[in-house]
């Protein structure tokens, strides 16, 4: 188990989704392929644009709540710092 917090986007400056998971490659794949109904499927959030590892699932959930409670500007700043070109980071995590 590798807890992580992540942001999926529909495109540059598009709709954002903040989530938490114990298996980021699998969860990002689920969002990309739309195999699970919900927000990301409805709004086309298929790009993994930011992620952060956490020591424990409890820490990941606290960080997720912090991000969800923060402003859009703060989320955009996180993305821009790690991924200024808004590239899909899925291949980076799926294949090491």
Q: How many domains does the chain have?
A: 1
Domain span at 2: 1-16+33-71+78-90
How confident is residue 94, by pLDDT bands cut at 50, 70 and 90?
Answer: confident
User: Cα(22)–Cα(24) distance, rounded to whole angstroms?
Assistant: 6
pLDDT in tens, 42-89: 999 999 999 999 999 999 999 999 999 999 999 999 999 999 999 999
Whether 28 is covered by a domain: the verdict is no
pLDDT in tens, 11-45: 998 999 999 999 999 999 999 999 989 999 999 99
Whether 22 is covered by a domain: the verdict is no
Whole-prediction pTM? 0.95
User: Cα(36)–Cα(71) distance, rounded to whole angstroms?
Assistant: 26
Whether 2 is covered by a domain: the verdict is yes
Whether 38 is covered by a domain: the verdict is yes
Chain centroid to Cα 80, Å, comes to 13
């Amino acid at each position: 188990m590798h807890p992580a917090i992540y942001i999926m986007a529909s495109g540059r400056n598009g709709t954002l989704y903040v989530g938490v998971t114990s298996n980021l490659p699998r969860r990002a794949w689920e969002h990309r392929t739309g195999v699970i109904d919900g927000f990301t499927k409805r709004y086309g959030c298929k790009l993994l644009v930011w992620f952060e590892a956490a020591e424990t699932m409890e820490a990941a959930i606290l960080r997720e709540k912090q991000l969800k409670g923060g402003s859009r500007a703060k989320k955009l700043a996180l993305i821009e710092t790690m991924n200024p070109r808004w590239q899909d980071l899925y291949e980076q995590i799926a294949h090491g």
